[in-house]
Amino acid sequence: MKVLVIGAAGMIGRKLLEQVAKTPNILGAPVSGLTLVDVIEPAAPAALADKAKCQALDLSTDGAAEALIAERPDIIFNLAAVVSGEAEADFDKGYRVNLDGGRALLEAIRHEGQREAYKPRLIFASSVAVFGAPFPEKIGDEFFTTPLTSYGTQKAIIELLIADYSRRGIIDGVSIRLPTICVRPGKPNAAASGFFSNILREPLVGQEAVLPVDDSVRHWFASPRAAVGFFTHAATLDLAKVGPRRSLMMPGLSATVADQIAALEKVAGPKATALIRREPDATIQGIVAGWPCDFDPKRAIELGFTAETSFEEIIRIHIEDELGGQIGV
């Protein structure tokens, strides 16, 4: 089986590949060929290095999508994106990467299928940002998409295209609407949601973190481990059970910033929470105010997707997966 991962240098891409390397049949069959691309050259896990081709590539540039699809991958993970804060700040870049790149990929698949029969599985990383306020207390599977950011709009458009190209038999596609992934390892990125991870990740290693919003802010979360599980499960899921509505809200945990801080104190003590410095940021507050905060994802749960049920569990997963089981505060 040939696998293409777009956005393979990102956090979820790297962790997905690590899981594939550890569990060879997790995508339904052994991987015979692996193409990994990102705007910086990604690296393959050692166990997959002999099967992998890694390259730096911008999907939105002329001919890039066609070159990737010419290899006719069986499963395509499209994880690449200009993240929320950056897409809002740089209108042109957000639409070029998040929309034009995604459509170029779909069109390359369509043209390859016109040349010779071809229908890959395409798994797209979407977001809760496809929803916009006002919200019900819990957002169910029937709630409409009215994004209030450019990033959310770009994701929603690609979701619609994936549903239509699947309906036309061009792809077998599904859009995975991710909760905010927390705790993200590594350094802060340009995502407006980055502080949700920062206020946990930095204090756990004895470093100060800035909190730009009120403690009362509520949001929808899942761990990186859960996110990888969403994508591997989607790779083997019978998509006939999904039907024509090819966008699925993933399970997660609804929690406030205060809940996060309380869980951090329970796991790491008051020395950790004392490292959180409150610096209100009106721009981030405005973006976050338009995001949903609680869901009732019945369809995904019935289809076998799972996530954490407490923030303490999310923090302990980060300590286990990223800190070798040790707290540095």
Exposure string of 219-238, with b = 16+ CB inside 10 Å and e = fewer, is bbbbbbbbbbbbbbbbbebe
Number of domains in the chain: 1
- Give the per-residue pLDDT at 119: 98
Q: How far apart are CA 84 and CA 73, in angstroms?
A: 29
Whether residue 66 is contained in a domain is answered as yes
Whether residue 272 is contained in a domain is answered as no
Give the tens place of pLDDT for each residue, 136-179. 989 999 999 999 899 999 999 999 999 999 999 999 999 999 99
Q: How far apart are CA 45 and CA 34, in angstroms?
A: 11
Confidence class for position 24, pLDDT limits 50, 70, 90:
confident
Whether omega for the bond prior to residue 134 falls within 30 degrees of 0, making it cis, is yes
Note the pTM of the prediction, 2 decimals: 0.95
131 three-state secondary structure: coil
| Residue 62, domain CATH | 3.40.50.720
Q: What is the rounded radius of gyration, in angstroms, for the C-alpha atoms of the chain?
A: 19
Whether residue 24 is contained in a domain is answered as yes
- Give the per-residue pLDDT at 108: 98
13 three-state secondary structure: helix
- Give the per-residue pLDDT at 292: 87
Q: Which of 95, 118, 151, 165 is catalytic?
A: 151
Whether residue 217 is contained in a domain is answered as no
Confidence class for position 83, pLDDT limits 50, 70, 90:
confident
95 belongs to the catalytic site: no
- The bridge status of strand 218-222 relative to strand 180-181 is parallel
Give the tens place of pLDDT for each residue, 126-148. 999 999 989 998 999 999 999 98
- Give the per-residue pLDDT at 290: 78
Q: Does residue 311 contact residue 259 with C-beta atoms inside 8 Å?
A: yes
Give the tens place of pLDDT for each residue, 257-295. 999 999 999 999 999 999 999 999 998 998 888 788 999
Read off the pLDDT of each residue in 111-116 and give the average, rounded to a whole number. 98
Whether residue 134 is contained in a domain is answered as yes
Whether residue 298 is contained in a domain is answered as no
- The bridge status of strand 121-127 relative to strand 75-78 is parallel
- Give the per-residue pLDDT at 188: 74
Residue numbers of the domain that contains 91: 2-179+223-249
Q: How far apart are CA 191 and CA 26, in angstroms?
A: 30
Distances (CA, A) of 93 to 81, 88, 141, 191: 10, 9, 30, 14
- Give the per-residue pLDDT at 1: 96
* Whether residue 115 has pLDDT greater than 90: yes
Give the tens place of pLDDT for each residue, 189-219. 777 889 999 999 999 999 999 999 999 999 9
Token pair, residue 318, equals: 């980060």
Whether residue 315 is contained in a domain is answered as no
Whether residue 297 is contained in a domain is answered as no
Q: Does residue 5 contact residue 17 with C-beta atoms inside 8 Å?
A: yes
Strand order of the sheet with strand 247-249? Answer: 52-56, 33-38, 2-6, 75-78, 121-127, 172-178, 247-249
